[in-house]
Copies of this chain bind each other. A is one copy, B any other.
């Protein structure tokens, strides 16, 4: 199988590596940045860089477009014009409607792997980046069945879990669980910064809750401006709804409506619980919460004890008290059996274990 990757950053480079290592494919690549192309060759992701977009694409069975969201619609059209009749063309953009709507071609399948985030660039590319990752695919009613099957199986060989979803649904949901949180984080930072300026830069100790709430504030501007613009059809109504809700809360506060605020907060508590359950059930993850003193080695001790008996911590978060004197370690463990085992072991070490 011949695979072309257009755009060799973290995701494109990892796709090329996975294609060689997992699918034993011939890979070629193209990138407007010659340095990225050279790095991909040195890394072994591609045998050699193509001289042009056309020469990368014209012999391929599968083409991945790993370019910024803003250029994807035009790039998709360009590549579809160059690609063979039996080639499947896909992309990895964070929004799907615009690139899917840019043409009506049975060879195109939109894609969005949920992988990568805290690092970027070809230097961090890894062939196992997609192990266990959800990879959204947005076929349409005109998508050619055999080409879709080829892509689906290829992604499976990367270790990913392909999940079909309508482009429209994808973008509306991502607007709520990813794009709107980014907007909120920016707004929180802006208001706190304005207050700090008015207050001679002195802010109260902000603590982990403000840090968590604003962790994604000011994320990469080039990428996020693209995302906001390409998903504005979903984001504008989401913002309208958020503004409506905030106005209702504002009015309830102004009217000192204790019962209304309590109802609203109770609903949020129940809904969050249900949302997290849905999410965690997917991988059968079980949460354990362990209050611990904040001293060197205590997280190590817990992790080691569990590692020793082969219990993997799928996810780990430490919520320190504002004074850093103690913390609660939240751990997510796969499977009820391992969770019980973990709780038993941690209890034996003398720590209380809470199971929310």
Contact = CB atoms under 8 A, between A and B. Distances in A.
Interface of A: 114-119, 124, 126, 128-134, 136, 160, 165, 169-170, 172-174, 176-178, 180-181, 183-193, 195-196, 199, 201-219, 221-222, 224-225, 228-229, 232, 235-236, 238-243, 245-247, 249-250, 253-254, 256, 258, 261-262, 264-276, 278-279, 282-283, 289, 291, 294-297, 299-301, 303-304, 306-307, 310-328
Given A173-B203, A184-B213, A279-B205, A266 B315 contact: no
B229 A117 contact: no
Contacts of A245: 187, 190-191
A263 to B, nearest CB: 9
A257 to B, nearest CB: 9
Contact of A258 (B225, B242, B291): B225
A310 B297 CA distance: 10
Determine how many copies of this chain the complex contains.
Answer: 2
Majority secondary structure, A binding face: helix
B188 A184 contact: yes
Given A225-B265, A271-B218, A278-B201, A242 B117 contact: no
Given A184-B184, A189-B268, A201-B278, 14 more contacts: A129-B323, A173-B204, A174-B204, A176-B192, A186-B264, A191-B245, A193-B275, A196-B278, A213-B215, A217-B269, A218-B266, A219-B265, A232-B254, A232-B256
